[in-house]
Chain A
Amino acid sequence: MKRLVLAFVALALLATASYLTRGGLVLALGFAVAKACIVLVVFMELGRASATSRAALAVAVALALLLVGFAAADVATRDTTVSVP
């Protein structure tokens, strides 16, 4: 119980910090990753899950990161110059 309450306090502090320092996307996502890790490890007990369960989640997260990363990289690096004939 104490472990769960401490995790919630940490989540609340991170959420407050995220709100107070709003502005940068990278920083905001950093806080979000930290909060997600606390939920995964403490509340969802990822450490107690079987290796196959952890692998299923890891593959999904890796594919999600690839999809999001390539989508952003594609749009950000497109040459939008229109050539006039």
Chain B
Amino acid sequence: MTPEGSESHFASLEQQAHAARFGTWAFLASEVLLFSACFALYAGARAHDPAGFAAGIGESAKAIGTTNTFVLLASSLCAAIAVESLREKSRKGAVLWLSATMTLGFVFFALKLYEWHEHWIKGIVPSARSPFFDAHPNQRPFWTLYWTMTGLHTLHVLAGVSVLAILAVWILRDREASTYEHRLSNGVLYWHLVDVIWIFLWPLFYLAGQR
């Protein structure tokens, strides 16, 4: 017989929640390793040419990068409050705070698109030929890493928003909030990881080493 609210191969909902929690943390660990390859490339390239990286950071859009930092930090707060709301059996509150989190995710994405557009019109493009890189060849490694790492991170933001949207729909449809509390807290863990990765990308591409 299936215990109430759990899948058939688990003895209880608690056991299922524990397994899902560990699975989520293992997945997050694999995400850390994925980004660590990029951070290793950054470390090697920066150690090779610190001046080129300082010049690249001088060109980066600090106002947008900084705004996006505060946007993601606020989104993490909203996501954490959404989990608290569901623990207090407030489905409406959880969905409301999840909606706020997703809205901030879209704000981040919109600002990122604008930032990429601004770079693109200056000729800072991920391309083999560009007048900007003809004039500033030492900045090429910085901008290659910038496009790769911010692009990969933005894909994660979009994936996170999708996960949160699915969770919001599930919570709205099902009146038994307790079965969704661990699912929501696991989904929100992913969102927080996206925030943590940006916490490191921000100084590396916008602040550290600027003259």
List A residues at the B interface (Cβ < 8 Å).
1, 4-5, 7-8, 11-12, 15, 18-19, 22-25, 28-29, 31-32, 35-36, 39-40, 42-45, 49-50, 52-54, 56-57, 59-61, 63-64, 67-76
**Residues in B whose Cβ lies below 8 Å from that of A72:** 40, 43-44, 46-47
**Residues in A whose Cβ lies below 8 Å from that of B189:** 44
Q: Which of A18, A68, A76 contacts B40 (CB 8 A)?
A: A68
Q: Count chain B residues whose beta carbon lies closer than 8 angstroms to a beta carbon of A.
A: 48
**Residues in A whose Cβ lies below 8 Å from that of B209:** 23-25
Interface of B is mostly: helix
Cβ distance A40 to chain B, nearest Cβ, rounded Å: 7
Task: Report how far A83 CA is from B37 CA in the complex, Å.
Answer: 32
With A23-B209, A67-B40 as contacts: A75 and B48 at CB distance below 8 Å: yes
**Residues in A whose Cβ lies below 8 Å from that of B70:** 12, 15
Task: Report how far A70 CA is from B87 CA in the complex, Å.
Answer: 44
Cβ distance A44 to chain B, nearest Cβ, rounded Å: 5
Q: Judge whether A53 and B21 touch: CB under 8 Å.
A: yes
List B residues at the A interface (Cβ < 8 Å).
18, 21-22, 25-26, 28-30, 32-33, 35-37, 39-41, 43-48, 66, 69-70, 73-74, 76-77, 79-81, 84, 185, 189, 192-193, 195-196, 199-200, 202-204, 207-210
Q: Judge whether A28 and B25 touch: CB under 8 Å.
A: no
Q: Judge whether B84 and A4 touch: CB under 8 Å.
A: yes
Given contacts A31-B203, A61-B32, A76-B47, list 8 more A-B pairs with CB under 8 A. Answer: A15-B70, A23-B210, A28-B207, A32-B200, A39-B199, A44-B189, A53-B21, A68-B43
Task: Report how far A22 CA is from B209 CA in the complex, Å.
Answer: 7
Q: Judge whether A53 and B47 touch: CB under 8 Å.
A: no
13 contacts between A and B (CB under 8 A): A8-B76, A8-B77, A22-B207, A23-B210, A28-B208, A32-B203, A50-B18, A56-B26, A60-B29, A61-B32, A64-B33, A64-B35, A71-B47
Q: Judge whether B77 and A35 touch: CB under 8 Å.
A: no
Task: Report how far A67 CA is from B208 CA in the complex, Å.
Answer: 20
Q: Judge whether A19 and B73 touch: CB under 8 Å.
A: no
**Residues in A whose Cβ lies below 8 Å from that of B36:** 60, 63-64, 67-68
Q: Judge whether B199 and A19 touch: CB under 8 Å.
A: no
**Residues in B whose Cβ lies below 8 Å from that of A40:** 192, 196
Cβ distance B21 to chain A, nearest Cβ, rounded Å: 6
